[in-house]
Amino acid sequence: MVAPEGHIVPKRFYDRTISEKLLYTCFLLLVGLGYLMATSYLYVTHQMNDGKPGLSISDVADSYYGNRSGTRLEAAIRGSMAGNISIEDRDLMVAWLKDGAGEDHFEHEIKPILQKTCLNCHVQSSGMNLPDFSTYAGLHKFAEVDTGMSMASLLKLSHIHLFGISLLLFMLGGIFIQSEVNVIFKRFLVVSPMLAVFVDVASWFMTKMDSNYAIIVIVAGGLLGMSMALQILISLFQIWTLKRPLR
């Protein structure tokens, strides 16, 4: 379609055939469903990070920065396992943990403490299917400070997100720009989800360094979700209602 002045008029939804409209509609519905699945997945996998139900900033901080206030072993002997250990033995074990939980002191100082009660349950042969603490390797998994997601996992997650989501947003945006909305609003909605993905990924790395950045992960994720939702809903609506130019 060519306008009188010779400018190319951009394609709008009303220029599309029914087949194209059906293609767009199915794609938008599946992307919307995918987004809901992605957020549900995040919720069920992250909400218990900080030990409390419900997704919070500390859940996000724990997954990237880790919970560096201590080890799971220390949390256990101060908490759910406290009844199985004397105060003196607990302090010895905590001192060992703070000292780096080295193997050299395991056999002579730590193993005897474990043998008093812990190994009644925490050994393969107890049949209780609990973590096995009869060896250094078995105990050590619970004696490491949790520093959150590893750099390798973070890099993997980042490049998958950047490639995958930008491609998805490119296709989504290609559909959305055929709608008729305020042009400034349209430009904002085209750029904002891309910007949000960039800030989101960057904030994972920042949160790995400093847990205070967890709030940015949430804000950027929210902006991405809102922009995608608006693009999808406006497109779905106008694909089937826009019959001619609004002006």
Q: Residue 121 or 168: which CB sits closer to ligand HEC?
A: 121
94 binds ligand HEC (CB under 6 A): no
Altogether, the residues listed in the chain come to a count of 247
Min dist. Cβ of residue 86 to ligand HEC (A) = 9
Between CA 172 and CA 99 the distance in angstroms is 53
208 binds ligand HEC (CB under 6 A): no
Min dist. Cβ of residue 101 to ligand HEC (A) = 12
CB atoms within 10 A of CB 64: 22
Q: Residue 23 or 130: which CB sits closer to ligand HEC?
A: 130
206 binds ligand HEC (CB under 6 A): no
Single residue of 42, 94, 121, 154 touching ligand HEC by CB under 6 A: 121
Residue 65 burial (10 A CB sphere; 0-12, 13-18, 19+): buried
Q: x/- binding map, residues 33-72, to ligand HEC, per CB under 6 A?
A: ---------------------------------------x
Compute CA 97 distance to the chain's CA centroid, rounded to the nearest angstrom: 30
Residues 6+ apart with CB under 8 A from 81: 118
CB atoms within 10 A of CB 226: 14
Between CA 109 and CA 114 the distance in angstroms is 9
Single residue of 84, 134, 158, 166 touching ligand HEC by CB under 6 A: 84
- Binding residues vs ligand HEC (CB under 6 A): 72-73, 76-77, 80-81, 84-85, 117-118, 120-122, 130-131, 142
